[in-house]
Structure 1
Amino acid sequence: MKLSKQLRQFALERDGVVTAAEADVHGLDNSALRRLVGSGDWVREAYGIYRLADHPVTPRSTIRIAVLRMGGTAILSGLGAAYWHGVANSPPATVTVTATPGGHVKRVPGVRAVRRRLDGRDAVERSHLMVTGLPLSVLEGAVEGDVSVLDRALLLRRVSERQLRAVYDRRRGTVGATAMGRLLEGVGSGARSSAERLTVGLFESAGITGWIANYSSGRYIIDFAFVAERVAVEIDGMAYHRDADAFQNDRTRRNDLIAAGWTVLNFTWNDLVNHPDDVIARVVAALSAAASTQV
């Protein structure tokens, strides 16, 4: 069965995916859909959802199908939305979808439904799919996946600090807002002091002692120094805060400290917020290794 050019173009603009309702608008009834599937021209992905057989399965088509399976009011959210906006490098294993409070929420494999109401400013249509707005997608994507999503969006100037704080203010008191707030601490002018406070908190919670903050070694100030063990803990800022000269200075600084006999551990805001156990484990391992060589 030959498709009209208009319907084929319509499908290609939607990652090769067409719903039964959309097909009906283009003149295809259920019997026509069955013939298309039977001939191998279309693939039935789910009830009322079809894909052009000659269109490859892609992360975008997979995400689109997942959202469509949740119903007409579903909104792509979180890391999936960040990927849709082009600020996350990889699609999530589980797609997060905003569902309207009340009513039945479908159980779809690989989909996590969040019942909530969004401010009208936080829902947009992109590539014929409803998704959370870019600022909210960036923050929730960073919480759900990796802070690099936030760093990348700022570095590319896709969002501003003002936009991020505005959407955070709209989401105060909701699920995930606390984690968003912690991430935003790493963005503003007080990021350095916030990172230092967070590091001190990790050390104290793990019972790690013997460190000196802002220790002077030659021409450098080490963020946290374990002088006896010659272990230096350095906290790196977000990439968007740094230019090429700062990046090179960091490399020179690290090399000079190592040459002076220090074991240097570098951690990012993402490490401190999302991987605190790994930070503690690496510091403890470095201190233990240093102690064993001093025996």
Structure 2
Amino acid sequence: MSSPPPLLIHPAPPASFGADQRVAWLAGRQLGLVTRDQLLHLLGLTRHQIAGRIARGLLIPVHRTVYALGVRPATPEARAMAAVLACGDGAMASHATAAALHGMLPWRRGPVHVTTPPSTRRVAGIAVHVSHSGPSVGTTRLRVPCTADARTLIDVAGSDGAAPARRAWSSLAGQRRLRPRMVEHELRLHSGRRGTALVREMLERHRLATTGHTKSELEAAALQLCAAHGLPLPAVNRLVVLQDGTYEADMSWAEARLVVELDGWATHRSPEQFEDDRHRDFDFELAGWSSVRLTWTAVTAQAEATARRLRRRLAVGRESVPTDLAPGQAGRQ
């Protein structure tokens, strides 16, 4: 018995469409491709109708359960889409294929790379990578589901080595799409994986070049500030769960509903990161938290003034937490 369509569920086509119009409608949304399950369950075709269209050349088999409408996939992104569709639910283009979709590396000959959850079917002709680390942040490029920038960097570093990884990093930086915070988050999720050491090295070199200091130096200076001025020590690099999102905070005090971000301005000056930071701050504000950003100067040369401000905010935060709310509920970490 066939299962429901595994990927890219679409709204139903217009009721006035005939069978061939419905097939063309769906293929047009997937770079000229459809899956057998989608034809059966989304468009309502029968097995006999599918077989007839294959016999007439209207549907051309690309993989065992994926068909092209009229002509075989002619572009690299269409071949990537075919591979993702063939691998089923949760599949994303990854590694060198995702890097090409992102414009981080050029397209190259060879199999399409796809990352899938465990227990996903293997497909001949596709380089399938099984992820055991849970769902990864995905995105869509050129209409193809693929791993996001940061995960792609780690995959390329692990499978292709230093030269392609550095080229991919430089491409992202040149496109002003490099987001150090997202890279660091992926590194923590996949700690110990092949490629993470190389990406961490590139991240620290980037921070050193743009701010003059590494993230670890800035964190150490911030913790030293807290200890030297008698401030409560914060939780470091913990997740804070809010109604509108889950965020990793460089430093956080749950009882006072305060988070501190330690990255300097140079690591967040891309338009996308600027927007992300605004959304993040808004979500904290809506949840009754404060989000404070501290630079290297603030935690070193201006340490006394910064400590005084933090002490005042921590005192206000503790007073404002409702008495019927347990400390651990002020923000789950």
Q: Distance between the aligned counterparts of 1:87 and 1:3, measured in 2?
A: 40
Count of residues in Structure 1 that have an aligned counterpart in Structure 2: 192
C-alpha offsets along residues 179-236 of structure 1, whole Å, 9 cap, x if unaligned? 3223334423159x9xxxxxxxxxxxxxxxxxxxxxxxxxxxxxxxxxxxxxxxxxxx
Equivalent pair of 2:54/2:60 in contact (CA under 8 Å): yes
Aligned to 1:151: 170
Q: Distance between the aligned counterparts of 1:132 and 1:186, measured in 2?
A: 24
Identity of aligned residues (%): 20
Q: Distance between the aligned counterparts of 1:125 and 1:60, measured in 2?
A: 11
In the alignment, does 2:112 pair up with 1:100?
no
Q: Distance between the aligned counterparts of 2:21 and 2:142, measured in 1?
A: 19
Matches within 5 A, 1:83-162: 83-91=100-108, 93-101=110-118, 103=119, 105-106=121-122, 108-120=124-136, 122-125=137-140, 129-145=144-160, 146=164, 147-162=166-181
In the alignment, does 2:77 pair up with 1:60?
yes
Aligned to 2:267: none
Q: Distance between the aligned counterparts of 1:80 and 1:131, measured in 2?
A: 8
Equivalent pair of 1:124/1:133 in contact (CA under 8 Å): yes
Structure 1 stretches lacking a partner, 5+ long: 194-295
Q: Distance between the aligned counterparts of 1:161 and 1:83, measured in 2?
A: 20
C-alpha RMSD of the superposition: 3.2
In the alignment, does 2:196 pair up with 1:181?
no
Aligned to 1:23: 39
C-alpha offsets along residues 58-87 of structure 1, whole Å, 9 cap, x if unaligned? 211212222233332323221212222333
Q: Distance between the aligned counterparts of 1:105 and 1:134, measured in 2?
A: 25
Aligned to 2:29: 13
Q: Distance between the aligned counterparts of 1:73 and 1:150, measured in 2?
A: 26
C-alpha distance 186-133 of structure 1, shift in aligned 2 (>3 A)? same
C-alpha distance 180-96 of structure 1, shift in aligned 2 (>3 A)? farther
Cα offset for 1:56? 4.2
* 1:32 counterpart (23, 45, 49): 49
Structure 2 stretches lacking a partner, 5+ long: 1-17, 213-333
* 1:166 counterpart (185, 189, 204): 185
Equivalent pair of 1:105/1:113 in contact (CA under 8 Å): no
SS at match of 2:129: strand
Equivalent pair of 2:133/2:189 in contact (CA under 8 Å): no
Match of 1:43, as an amino acid?
I
C-alpha distance 12-109 of structure 1, shift in aligned 2 (>3 A)? same
TM-score when normalising by structure 2: 0.50
C-alpha distance 129-90 of structure 1, shift in aligned 2 (>3 A)? closer
Q: Distance between the aligned counterparts of 1:125 and 1:90, measured in 2?
A: 17
Match of 1:175, as an amino acid?
R
Q: Distance between the aligned counterparts of 1:130 and 1:6, measured in 2?
A: 22
C-alpha distance 4-58 of structure 1, shift in aligned 2 (>3 A)? same
Match of 1:11, as an amino acid?
A
Match of 2:81, as an amino acid?
R
C-alpha distance 45-137 of structure 1, shift in aligned 2 (>3 A)? same
C-alpha distance 35-107 of structure 1, shift in aligned 2 (>3 A)? closer
TM-score when normalising by structure 1: 0.55
Q: Distance between the aligned counterparts of 1:132 and 1:92, measured in 2?
A: 20
